Amino acid sequence: MPLGITSAARHPSRPHVPPLAEHPLLKGYDLVGWFAMAAPKTLPPAWPSS
């Protein structure tokens, strides 16, 4: 579930996800680009660090 988007306005395909620019402390925030991370549910736990 996304918490927010980095564009200045809501995206038509996700109107329920607010842009960070709507937060009073981030007024005018606009970041061009996006980042995502995905993994299968069967991903094994992290290896122990040595």
**pLDDT tens readout for residues 3-46:** 888 888 999 999 999 999 999 998 888 887 767 888 898 988 88
**What are 36's two structure tokens?**
């995502």
CB 19 within 8 Å of CB 7: yes
Q: What is the pTM of this model?
A: 0.52
Q: What is the length of the chain?
A: 50
Which alpha helices (H) appear in the chain, and where do they start and end? none
26, 27, 31, 34: CA torsion to nearest 10: 60
The pLDDT value recorded for residue 49 is: 65
The pLDDT value recorded for residue 3 is: 85
CB atoms within 10 A of CB 18: 14
